[in-house]
Homo-oligomer: A and B are copies of this chain.
Amino acid sequence: MQKETQETLCSKVEESYHIIGKKWMGLIIHCLMEEPKRFGEIHAFIPDLSKRVLNERMKELEECGVVLRNVITERPVRTEYSLTKKGAELGKALKAVEAWADKWL
């Protein structure tokens, strides 16, 4: 028998876990916190993350407004990714998780 107080899931909460619950998302946001970075720099920072998936993640982060993509039209073309305000605040929230990690892991 279920409890009477049938809790229900807040869609915002659900959506946030859908974002940070994807593989590599946390680390990507973490590595953009200090300063904007180029594609290759992120890739160098997280070597186990393939270019294919990194590109996919960056598109997702751009689409949900966490990251801004700035294509620099020099040659060779460079792309710089930076956190938006929204993204920077997500990064700050994730610092709580990192503090937990530092204490417990």
A contacts, CB < 8 Å to B? 2-3, 7, 9, 12-17, 20-27, 30-31, 34, 41, 44-46, 65, 86, 89-90, 92-105
In the bound assembly, the distance between CA atoms of A32 and B14 in angstroms comes to 14
Give chain B nearest CB distance to A39 CB in angstroms. 13
Q: List 28 A-B contacts (CB under 8 A).
A: A2-B41, A7-B31, A7-B45, A9-B46, A13-B27, A13-B101, A13-B102, A15-B105, A16-B98, A16-B100, A17-B24, A17-B26, A17-B97, A20-B26, A21-B21, A21-B22, A21-B26, A22-B23, A65-B104, A90-B97, A90-B104, A92-B96, A92-B100, A93-B96, A93-B97, A93-B100, A95-B96, A96-B96
